[in-house]
């Protein structure tokens, strides 16, 4: 039951985690890394809550729904930050953060 | 800043994680394991949110406070379950779940 | 780079995590739960290392390769255990543990 | 059993996780953040493997020992990097990475 009910949402979280961690790595290699600090911070935080949300859903935990709600807020915050940076990895990450299966 | 402000609470979460995982392992070895199913489930869930709360606090994440609030609810639920089982590991776990630094 | 190089393997780990956690939940509901203890233990351990392997790969961590090697061993051990249980969720999990992208 | 056998080592991992995440946050606020990129990367990676090692030990997982060995290597690598930076948070982190209970 659990993993079927949540499967689409879990996969969505994993895609967002991958996009955030890719953006995180790319931001750290940016020539103007000082401009990317807030993005780097949010990328890590967003990737980590996405990963924990996937875990919470796949274990059918009592807190799965609440974690997903926090996750949605952080994705919005991370997506808004990424949207402001005119480089491909940030735009891709902003798009991944905006896409919601839940 | 971050890890000092939250340090006591982080250590508290780690102690609870250890108690829950110890109780989880002991419940799985119990002769009447069928009686311990709900305890096993909550032990894992509580240990995992404690670990994630420690992570969120030590990274000074935007969601640290919200995760701690969920964590407090789960600890209460897990502690109430454990309290009902008259074996030492459950009583120890119930006590760890009740102790709150935050 | 990182998330492209490892993308297939990450998705594979996430599928295995979902199968293991589904099997974990189903085993805890089994009428003969006492027969499923070893499976329950390995399901959780396998799910958790799969999740951490996905994290390690998507962050392009120095230890990604070593974690994947441990993950492969645990999947084999978990799959061998699941194979012995003639219920659908265990057979599905055994299959997921056997499929390797890496 | 499990959490007693490993308790000192678990607490040690948690202290190192806290020091690494504190150093990570401080490096991101450094005026010369471009000089701290490698340190930032390793701080996150080291914090995350320390946290997973604590999890693996407290669940008495089959892979606890192997994870601890990887953790020791990453701590050495992270400590060597931090040692080169003449700021307090890096020196504190280097010291935390060097201290081994295991």
Amino acid D6: pLDDT: 80
- Chain A residues whose beta carbon lies within 8 Å of the beta carbon of residue C59: 21, 24-25, 47
Give the residue from A2, A59, A62, A93 with the most C CB atoms within 10 Å of its CB, the best one to mutate.
Answer: A59
Chain C nearest-CA residue for D51: C52
What SS3 class is residue D101?
coil
Measured in angstroms, the CA of B10 and the nearest CA of chain A are apart by: 17
As a whole number, mean pLDDT of residues D10-34 equals 95
CB B91 within 8 A of CB B82: yes
Residues comprising chain A, all counted: 102
What SS3 class is residue C30?
coil
| Spatial separation of the C-alpha atoms in residues B94 and C5, rounded to whole Å | 45
* Closest by Cβ to B18, choosing from D7, D21, D47: D7
Domain ranges of chain D: 2-98
CA angle, residues C89, C8, A14, in degrees to nearest 5: 70
Percent of chain A with pLDDT strictly greater than 90: 89
- CA D44, distance to chain mean position in Å, is 8
Residue D58, both tokens? 């407290």
Cα–Cα separations (whole angstroms), residue D15 to A95, C92, D12, D22, D26: 37, 40, 5, 11, 17
Per-residue confidence of chain B (102 residues) as pLDDT tens digits? 455 667 899 999 999 999 999 999 999 999 999 999 999 999 999 999 999 999 999 999 999 999 999 999 999 999 999 999 999 999 999 999 998 644
Amino acid C3: pLDDT: 53
Measured in angstroms, the CA of C45 and the nearest CA of chain B are apart by: 11
| Spatial separation of the C-alpha atoms in residues A23 and C62, rounded to whole Å | 18
Q: Which residue has the tokens 């390797």?
A: C100
Measured in angstroms, the CA of C72 and the nearest CA of chain D are apart by: 11
As a whole number, mean pLDDT of residues A17-38 equals 96
- Chain D residues whose beta carbon lies within 8 Å of the beta carbon of residue C44: 59
Chain A nearest-CA residue for D35: A33
Amino acid A4: pLDDT: 62
Measured in angstroms, the CA of B53 and the nearest CA of chain A are apart by: 11
| Spatial separation of the C-alpha atoms in residues D10 and D50, rounded to whole Å | 9
Amino acid A64: pLDDT: 97
* Closest by Cβ to C33, choosing from B29, B37, B44: B37
Chain A nearest-CA residue for C24: A59
Amino acid C5: pLDDT: 64
Chain B nearest-CA residue for C40: B28
What SS3 class is residue C1?
coil
Amino acid C96: pLDDT: 95
| Spatial separation of the C-alpha atoms in residues C85 and C35, rounded to whole Å | 9
Residue C38, both tokens? 């070893």
**Taking the alpha carbons of B85, B88, B89, B95 in that order, is the dihedral positive or negative?**
positive
Domain A2-98 has CATH 1.20.1270.360: yes
Measured in angstroms, the CA of C36 and the nearest CA of chain B are apart by: 10
Report the mean per-residue pLDDT for chain D.
92
CB B35 within 8 A of CB B86: no
Amino acid C1: pLDDT: 44
Report the mean per-residue pLDDT for chain C.
92
* Closest by Cβ to C60, choosing from A3, A25, A54: A25
Residue C25's H or E segment, with its range, is helix C7-28
Q: Which residue has the tokens 């199913």?
A: B37
Residue D43: what are its φ and ψ, rounded to 5°? Answer: -55, -45
Residue A101 pLDDT more than 70?
A: no
**Taking the alpha carbons of C51, C54, C60, C65 in that order, is the dihedral positive or negative?**
positive
Residue A78 pLDDT more than 70?
A: yes
Record: contact C77-D62, CB cut-off 8 A: yes
Record: contact D28-A44, CB cut-off 8 A: no
As a whole number, mean pLDDT of residues D61-72 equals 97
What confidence tens digit (pLDDT) does each residue in C26-60 have?
A: 999 999 999 999 999 999 999 999 999 999 999 99
């Amino acid at each position: 039951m659990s993993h079927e009910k949540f499967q689409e949402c879990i996969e969505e979280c994993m895609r967002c985690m991958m996009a955030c961690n890719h953006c995180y790595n790319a931001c750290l290699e940016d020539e103007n890394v000082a401009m990317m600090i807030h993005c780097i911070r949010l990328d890590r935080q967003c990737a980590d809550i996405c990963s924990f949300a996937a875990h919470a859903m796949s274990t059918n935990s009592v807190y799965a729904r609440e974690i997903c709600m926090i996750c949605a807020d952080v994705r919005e915050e991370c997506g808004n930050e990424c949207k402001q940076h005119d480089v491909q990895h940030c735009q891709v990450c902003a798009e991944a953060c905006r896409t919601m299966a839940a």
